[in-house]
Structure 1
Amino acid sequence: MTDGPFAANASQPTYTVANGETVTAWIVSDLLETSFPGTAAPAEDRVNYRFINGFVDVGDLPCRKAFQQTMIGRDIAPETGFTVSHLNLPGSNRRVEFTGFWHVPTHVQRWLKGTFRSDAARQAHFRLCTCGGVRIWVGGVEQVRFEPFIRNVESSRDITLDLAAGDNEVLLLCEDLAERDIIWFFELEVVDAVPLTVVLPVPLDREETKRLAALVRDVRPAREVFSGAALELVFGAAPASDLPVHIAVKSHGHERASLAEVDTILKAGQSTLTIPETTGISDGYHGVKITMGSGAGTVTRVIDAAFMHDIAPEASNADINGRKKAALSFSARFGAWRIGRALAMVATGSDDIETIGGIVDATLHSIDRREDCSDFVMIPLLWLVRAYGDRLPAKMRARIDASILGYRYWVDEPGNDVMWFWSENHVLCFHTSQLLAGEYLPDAVFAASGRTGREQAALAADRLERWFDSVEAHGLAEWNSAAYYPVDFIGLLAIEHWAGPELAARARHQIDLIFEMIALHTLGGVPSGSQGRAYDKELRAGPLTELAPFAQVAFGQGWLNNGVASLPMFCCGDYLPPAHLAALSQLETGRMVEARYAQGLEPGKLVLFKNEAAQLSTVVDHKTGRKGHQQHVMDIKLAGHPMARLWVNHPGEDDPWGTQRPSYWAGSGILPRVAQHRDLAMLIFDTQNHRNDWTHAYLGRDGLDEVLVEGNWLITRSGRGFAALYATNGLQPITSGATANREIRSPGRRAGWVGIIGCGDVAEFARFQEKILATQISFDAESRLLSVTPPGGAELTLTWDGAFTIGGQAMAFDHDQPQPEITFDSADPASGGAAQPFYS
């Protein structure tokens, strides 16, 4: 969609939309939200305890069935006088998107309007895609009604609009039922040889809207992390006149806390904006909503920024029990407004009943509404009341008991909520909640099920046995996930502490295994590596994840933050990770470690190589050529800086700040073929017919001391850690826009990438560069064969079909157990030359 010729009326900017492009210039209404719970009923129990990454067999919930029955085909009067929220202007996203998260079932709507200009009466042809439902009126007459209303499933249909000669007022309604996370958008693609002219009926001229579009499209934070500094924004353009700007910073945590609200001015000719009021806000990877302009000329953009009070790891107690005590005190003082903080406060003897009571009230509100993710807070609430109930006011304890008895603990109990019962972590947390609640109130009757607490506990124990049977046999589908390991800990730590001996022992074994995997994939205090499910915040701000404090407490290096989903339970309980794991987390100089193991059904086959200052991690042979979800397939972490990180992926969406699954950075649109041996990884991409016909690398630039581009090679250093990336189709560093200096693209649907790590001093970095530049690499796009020959080493080959060889010898991945197989110091000459790393 491009700027069109000047309109006759200069106040009406015009855009030309050619065949294959999408209409993204619209005037957008305020969000309309209406509760839509449907009728309470049991849901179909499809949980078979076989957890597959990226797939959950849910079926339609009662609220969705009621929504489809009620909404499809109903009479709707066109809303022409709606309150304008903002302009949607052409940018990086082909879609017009309203994706978000609602904790309870909610009918959501947006009205949009624009003008389609035609030189003569004609039929204009489009392809309409949506998650939700769309209706379109032209000149007040309804012409399109497309209402699939299938949750988070994209549907498409070819449509025709009858346009009169001249200006045609187009009104569009986009709506859906929000069930927790909702992918909500429409995409109107022109499939017509005749370009479409779109006019925005707003009191702005063409140049003003062009500048606004550039401002919101290209804005980015000035650095990857703001340490003791105010947020600074960089714009890709400067306004011609002073522009009002509103900044709202919100936490990405479940509490969605508002951290800063600021009205300011972007001065004429100014392309950077500093927000002093953000200095000293709480550590975290936060959402930043930027609203620019006023009235009908308002545009918005949501980006993210990381804040840390200190990028240096905190000094920690040499004794793990001392670290537990310190972390519990930190959580009590600085934790997020969640029940884990109240648990920490009561456990440390706080008498701040106002704060404790406020957190408990918010928690009970979530539980009583049966909000999605309320199972995550039910467990620490039960820990609080069972361990420290005598320290709570009697009235508060009575309210807690009432909420526990009124909750819905599984799909077989009637409900009209959108609580997510089906995924690996939620299954665990619901069953654990049911067990702890039933044991706490054994003789009381639970309202939703009609069972006594004793009956609830017995049923939960049976269900937990099935959950453990699955994960003990297959491992965790959400491997290494910095987002979901802390959620797994919610259930597992509670079982280990409160359940009977058999279940407690099984939980303890699983916790030991998770801590082993964390130790293996932690470098410089930052848990990282390939992940089964990742979001941008887990990748771009590793020390700020909820998992990072677990590494700090368990292994003695890293950072504490306000994450309290499960850390206070770890610190309150008696469980201690195996003592030898600390040495895996922090390798001594000259040491190396490798690990191979499998996790989940359709398993993630994981390979790790780590030295003292660099770490390379991949998942190999994982669903090659299929649409990705949130799998982070290749990861490089360097120890010199907490943000020193690189990875390669195929973007799953258009918008660098998007939130789809997969997104621009987290996950892959089409999953590659991957192989790794020691310190070298090979990736083959075939993006097929995906509209993003390129792949790219993320560069944690602020954490890197040296960055060199030599031909197809990117070579970097952070402290004593080295990394190199090679792209067979060449490198295109992005130097402007939202990803400036952080993204390096490589064109082409078929491409090979190579990732290599090393470590040492300055002289060793020079030798590393020499070896890298002497490496021979070839890629045959037609046969999809990638070949790498290190200097003085054997040739490595990888095919799209999965054949991986070294020196002509087939290298099969045969480590199919969840328990990591660990090898130390393969570089030792005694291990044999063929087993040695290539560059370390």
Structure 2
Amino acid sequence: MLRSFPMNSRSTTITRMAALGFAIGLVSSVLAGDWQSQADRYAELAKLPPPAGYPQADANDTFCEQSFSAFAETRREAFLRYAAQNPQSGVWSQLVLAERGLPVWEGSIYRNLLRIDRREDTADFALHSILRMLYQYHDSPAFSRQLIGSAERTVLDFKYWPDEPGVDSMCTWSENHHILFASAGYLAGQLYPEQTFTNSGWTGKELMAKHRPRVLRWLDLRYRTGFSEWLSNVYYDADMAALLSLIEFSEDEEIAQRATMVLDLMLADIACNQFHGSLACTHGRSYESHKKSSLREGTSTVNKLCFGTGKFRSGSMSGVSMVLSPKYQMPEVLYSIANDPNQQGMVSRQRMGIRVDEAARWGLGFDTPEDGMVWLSLEAYAHPKTLPLFVNMLDEFHWWQNKFFQPFAKQQAVIREAQRTNQLSALATQYEVDISRNLREEVNIYTYRTADYMLSTAQDYRAGLGGDQHSIWQATLGPDAMCFTTYPVLNAKATPDNWTGSGTLPRAAQHENVVIVIYHLEQTPSLYVPETADFTHAWLPRDRFDEVIERDDWVFARRGEGYLALWSSQPTHWQDQLGDDYQRELIADGRDCVWICELGCKTHDGTFEKFADRLTAAPISVADRKVTYRSPSQGALAFGWDGPLLKNDAPIPLHDYPRYENRFIHSDFPAERVTLQHGKQHLVLDWRTLERTTYPPLDFESTNPETVRSTKP
């Protein structure tokens, strides 16, 4: 499809008006007698109270476990109405108010301009809302000319990449920040092509030229290999906001089309791994609050907006971006997959990410900062092959002062000596278990979903190595009726901690409704996480289930007609101290432990009592970190710290999955052509030709059932 870009003439107008807007803002300051610094001025303006008539309601949205509407426009209007009635203080909410013709709170926008000017961490989150304001609402009466001029000045003054001058503690490198910064630099340059960006000294055109290959490389790896921050119920929100900015505003048709296709696959990820509105699956990155309850997920707004299930949050980056981006129309097949009524026993297998040892396969090396930024998008700081390059980047980008790299700064003398003696790779090898814990390499994901429950696991993923924000497995019966295990880190000031990530990752393997999780906790040399616990634990919130019973070494929980059974090889006890974990944390003392979780339902297992009876009687044997379990539903399962997962003596594959494989979606790894099918609906994506073929067509108005829409730039 040849993409028309209605902003072309508008962006030209904006370019001409940029100097005028800036001048108006400056003159206003002078006339007001304000000779303070820009930061001081923004700090004062940030104190502006909400205007008269500003909505004051702050009602929690209802979490929908069943789709509240099959119609996209109904869902869009519902979100706009809710967000306008319950605005948060950020810029994203102000954009919704402007769209609805309601008064905006400029003080909250100045507060975010101040954050951006100070180059605080997550300034890029706010920057995309400012860029959207300038692209879509530059001439809107909702925003004062002084504010628009101030926003333009902030955009022109910003630091868009770590190779630009200045010392800061912004995270610019992780997968979501990588695309937020690169796309912001590209779109800011496009908006002001002839003007000079003060921090770098580059013109807008030069800024675009620097960021275009970064954007395209990120898009290429995400489409073909997926996300290192796989299925993140936190950071998919940020990724989608960046993609929607590119889709809506990029004048480069290739960038816009590739961003559209990557967004299609992100929504396919959610459609296949969500359970009645909860993206309650394994995650490459997630945090305690998002794991314990789907009511707090960053992806919940898009889930409800696209699929009708979940919960709206008025300040959602991706939610606001989506309702304000008419150029992106979600293919209907994605809604149908997410809401498929015949969910009894859907197996979904996916492979995501890349391996450091396969660098050449992806056109990557270990010498240049550009390649280094790609490695850092999967947080390969201290892998034996990447550490020498990373140390060079610490020097080149003045990152020794960056707060995120203080663990390295504290060991700078050791690192310098290893660098001088050419022993950095050897140092990384010696401490690899600990200092490479952030790394997120290739993962094989297995999700099993029925109408009553979902179980999801990162199969045999980096067992025995340190973990950070990885969430390896999860069982889900409802938005906050869920179960997972971790090996906690004590007295942590950062992740991993008590519930986020793991001090050491387990070896886990799932087949359909059963997962076996083995923890083997060895004492190893440690620089980063020195204090780990002598126990593993499970999150199993008794009060969020309808019924919980304990028999022998098993705990059984029921919600509705879904059943959960959890077994530990070590004796367990409930957390008995008052607090959020009271009667929700199940503790198993000991540094080696096997956990088994099996799910069931009334349809297949009869009553809850019968389900519990059968599992209590099931033989289990554990010895030398090997377990055999005669599952009532799966038969004889055997798994250990080494070797395959066996079902009735036959191996179950844990590695080398396709990019996608389930009853609705298929693609080889790496992906080139991806086919999604549900009944007569389909979506076919071809990365090489840039074709995006849908049925029904996205602009379908005809009654002709043979109509198919193919778009290609």
Give the whole-Å Cα distance in 2 for the aligned partners of 1:553 and 1:426: 24
- Deviation of 1:582 (Å): 2.8
The one-letter code of the counterpart of 2:303 is: A
1:637-716 equivalent positions in 2, closer than 5 A: 637-639=476-478, 642-654=479-491, 660-689=494-523, 691-716=532-557
- Deviation of 1:698 (Å): 0.6
1:555-634 equivalent positions in 2, closer than 5 A: 555-574=307-326, 575-588=328-341, 591-601=344-354, 602-634=441-473
- Deviation of 1:333 (Å): 2.9
1:720 equivalenced with 2:469 (yes/no): no
The one-letter code of the counterpart of 1:766 is: E
Contact 2:346–2:662 under 8 Å retained in 1: yes
Give the whole-Å Cα distance in 2 for the aligned partners of 1:743 and 1:456: 50
Give the whole-Å Cα distance in 2 for the aligned partners of 1:482 and 1:555: 15
Q: Which ranges of structure 1 fall in alignment gaps of 5 or more residues?
A: 1-254, 256-279, 284-307, 826-840
1:772 equivalenced with 2:615 (yes/no): yes
SS at match of 2:317: coil
Give the whole-Å Cα distance in 2 for the aligned partners of 1:282 and 1:721: 33
Q: Deviations over 1:341-399 (max 9, x none)?
A: 1111112222x14x1x1222112111111211111111121111111211033222211
- Deviation of 1:686 (Å): 0.6
Contact 1:432–1:491 under 8 Å retained in 2: yes
Q: Deviations over 1:661-680 (max 9, x none)?
A: 11111211111101011111
Give the whole-Å Cα distance in 2 for the aligned partners of 1:470 and 1:315: 32
Q: Which residue is equivalent to 1:750?
A: 592
Give the whole-Å Cα distance in 2 for the aligned partners of 1:326 and 1:660: 38
The one-letter code of the counterpart of 1:559 is: K
1:450-489 equivalent positions in 2, closer than 5 A: 450-489=201-240
- Deviation of 1:793 (Å): 5.0
Give the whole-Å Cα distance in 1 for the aligned partners of 2:78 and 2:632: 50
Give the whole-Å Cα distance in 2 for the aligned partners of 1:589 and 1:466: 38
Give the whole-Å Cα distance in 1 for the aligned partners of 2:507 and 2:448: 18
Give the whole-Å Cα distance in 1 for the aligned partners of 2:497 and 2:297: 18
Contact 2:516–2:595 under 8 Å retained in 1: yes
Contact 2:506–2:517 under 8 Å retained in 1: yes
Bigger proportion of residues as helix: 2
- Deviation of 1:508 (Å): 1.3
Give the whole-Å Cα distance in 2 for the aligned partners of 1:557 and 1:472: 25
Give the whole-Å Cα distance in 2 for the aligned partners of 1:732 and 1:724: 16
Give the whole-Å Cα distance in 1 for the aligned partners of 2:66 and 2:606: 30
The one-letter code of the counterpart of 2:253 is: P
Match of 1:503 among 240, 255, 274: 255
Residues 792/742 of structure 1: CA separation in 2 closer, same or farther (3 Å cut): closer
Q: Which residue is equivalent to 2:117?
A: 368
Q: Deviations over 1:387-423 (max 9, x none)?
A: 1211033222211111111111111210122111111
- Deviation of 1:815 (Å): 4.0
Residues 281/313 of structure 1: CA separation in 2 closer, same or farther (3 Å cut): farther
- Deviation of 1:281 (Å): 9.3
SS at match of 1:595: strand
Q: TM-score, normalised by structure 2?
A: 0.68
1:527 equivalenced with 2:370 (yes/no): no
SS at match of 1:496: helix
Contact 2:92–2:320 under 8 Å retained in 1: yes
Contact 2:639–2:646 under 8 Å retained in 1: yes
Q: Which residue is equivalent to 1:821?
A: 661
Contact 1:712–1:730 under 8 Å retained in 2: yes
Contact 1:593–1:824 under 8 Å retained in 2: no
Contact 2:171–2:177 under 8 Å retained in 1: yes
| Structure with bigger RCO (C-alpha 8 Å, 6+ apart) | 2
Residues 345/311 of structure 1: CA separation in 2 closer, same or farther (3 Å cut): closer
Number of residue pairs aligned between Structure 1 and Structure 2:
512
Q: Which residue is equivalent to 2:135?
A: 386
Residues 629/747 of structure 1: CA separation in 2 closer, same or farther (3 Å cut): same
Give the whole-Å Cα distance in 2 for the aligned partners of 1:815 and 1:573: 36
Give the whole-Å Cα distance in 1 for the aligned partners of 2:633 and 2:246: 53
Moved more, 533-542 or 761-770: 761-770
The one-letter code of the counterpart of 1:774 is: A
Q: Which residue is equivalent to 2:89?
A: 337
Residues 793/429 of structure 1: CA separation in 2 closer, same or farther (3 Å cut): closer
SS at match of 2:138: helix
Q: Which residue is equivalent to 1:432?
A: 183
Contact 1:612–1:759 under 8 Å retained in 2: no
Give the whole-Å Cα distance in 1 for the aligned partners of 2:156 and 2:646: 59
Give the whole-Å Cα distance in 1 for the aligned partners of 2:66 and 2:114: 36
Q: Aligned Cα RMSD in Å? A: 2.3
Match of 2:298 among 546, 560, 574: 546
Residues 699/659 of structure 1: CA separation in 2 closer, same or farther (3 Å cut): farther
Percentage of pairs with the same residue? 28
Residues 605/792 of structure 1: CA separation in 2 closer, same or farther (3 Å cut): closer
Contact 2:351–2:657 under 8 Å retained in 1: yes
Q: Deviations over 1:171-214 (max 9, x none)?
A: xxxxxxxxxxxxxxxxxxxxxxxxxxxxxxxxxxxxxxxxxxxx
Q: Which residue is equivalent to 2:574?
A: 733
Bigger proportion of residues as strand: 1
- Deviation of 1:551 (Å): 0.7
SS at match of 2:200: coil
Give the whole-Å Cα distance in 2 for the aligned partners of 1:336 and 1:549: 14
Q: Which residue is equivalent to 2:706?
A: none
- Deviation of 1:659 (Å): 5.6
Residues 432/559 of structure 1: CA separation in 2 closer, same or farther (3 Å cut): same
1:800 equivalenced with 2:551 (yes/no): no
- Deviation of 1:603 (Å): 1.2
The one-letter code of the counterpart of 1:676 is: Q
Contact 2:84–2:314 under 8 Å retained in 1: no
Contact 1:592–1:611 under 8 Å retained in 2: yes
The one-letter code of the counterpart of 1:586 is: N
SS at match of 1:422: coil
Contact 1:774–1:790 under 8 Å retained in 2: no
Give the whole-Å Cα distance in 2 for the aligned partners of 1:793 and 1:634: 19
The one-letter code of the counterpart of 2:595 is: W
SS at match of 1:580: helix
Give the whole-Å Cα distance in 2 for the aligned partners of 1:802 and 1:389: 61
Give the whole-Å Cα distance in 2 for the aligned partners of 1:315 and 1:490: 23
Q: Deviations over 1:124-177 (max 9, x none)?
A: xxxxxxxxxxxxxxxxxxxxxxxxxxxxxxxxxxxxxxxxxxxxxxxxxxxxxx
Contact 2:464–2:507 under 8 Å retained in 1: yes
Match of 1:396 among 147, 151, 157: 147
- Deviation of 1:472 (Å): 2.8
Residues 745/447 of structure 1: CA separation in 2 closer, same or farther (3 Å cut): same
SS at match of 2:635: coil
Give the whole-Å Cα distance in 1 for the aligned partners of 2:262 and 2:482: 28
Q: Which ranges of structure 2 fall in alignment gaps of 5 or more residues?
A: 1-45, 47-55, 355-440, 524-530, 666-713
Q: Which runs of 4+ in 1 moved over 4 A?
A: 280-283, 308-315
SS at match of 1:523: coil
1:263-274 equivalent positions in 2, closer than 5 A: none
Q: Which residue is equivalent to 1:156?
A: none
Moved more, 624-633 or 791-800: 791-800
SS at match of 1:405: helix
Moved more, 382-391 or 466-475: 466-475
Contact 2:67–2:339 under 8 Å retained in 1: no
Give the whole-Å Cα distance in 2 for the aligned partners of 1:622 and 1:703: 29
Residues 793/691 of structure 1: CA separation in 2 closer, same or farther (3 Å cut): closer
Q: Deviations over 1:510-551 (max 9, x none)?
A: 111111111222222222111111111111221222211111
